[in-house]
Amino acid sequence: MVDQMSQLLLGAVAAPGEVDSWIWKEGGLQTFTVSSAYNLVRKDNEVDTSSVFSKLWRCKAVPSAVLMAWRVLENKLATKVNLSRRGVQIESLRCVLCGKEEESCSHLFFGCSFAW
């Protein structure tokens, strides 16, 4: 998305005699808001998981377990892969439990033979 925006901006030329100005066209607004930009980015990356999350939040499990399940589904756990992506220096990305694959949410909860 960033590449597309930069290409559009580089190709834009103001017509002779016209004043150049920035206009934000998202959502029918002509003024930029952080909220409208956030909504635009979320809309591009949106996956229809609303039914899964609504069921998750309504289930009668312990709140900490519900929060953990949400973090797994959103890939928000502090796994070695996620920490590395955030700039934390990690010696090895290998799973500490089995040592076979990189330690990610999907590996820990669905693929690690030791965790199973």
Summarised one tens digit per residue, pLDDT across range 81-94 is 999 999 999 999 99
| Domain assignment of residue 81, yes or no | yes
| Residues of the chain falling short of pLDDT 50 | none
User: How many angstroms separate the CA atoms of 9 and 95, rounded?
Assistant: 43
Q: Residues for the chain: how many in total?
A: 116
Handedness of CA 105, 107, 110, 113 (dihedral sign): negative
Task: Return the exposure string of 55-67: e unless at least 16 CB atoms fall within 10 Å of the residue's CB, then b.
Answer: eeeeeeeeeeeee
| Domain assignment of residue 36, yes or no | no
Is residue 94 helix, strand or coil? strand
| Domain assignment of residue 30, yes or no | no
Residue span of the structural domain in which 102 resides: 76-116
Task: Indicate the number of domains in the chain.
Answer: 1
| Domain assignment of residue 92, yes or no | yes
Residues of the chain by 3-state class (helix, strand, coil), percent to 5: 50, 0, 50
| Domain assignment of residue 115, yes or no | yes
- Contact between 36 and 27 under an 8 Å Cβ cutoff? The reply is yes
Predicted local confidence at residue 42, as pLDDT: 72
pTM above 0.85, yes or no: no
Predicted local confidence at residue 41, as pLDDT: 74
User: How many angstroms separate the CA atoms of 97 and 114, rounded?
Assistant: 6
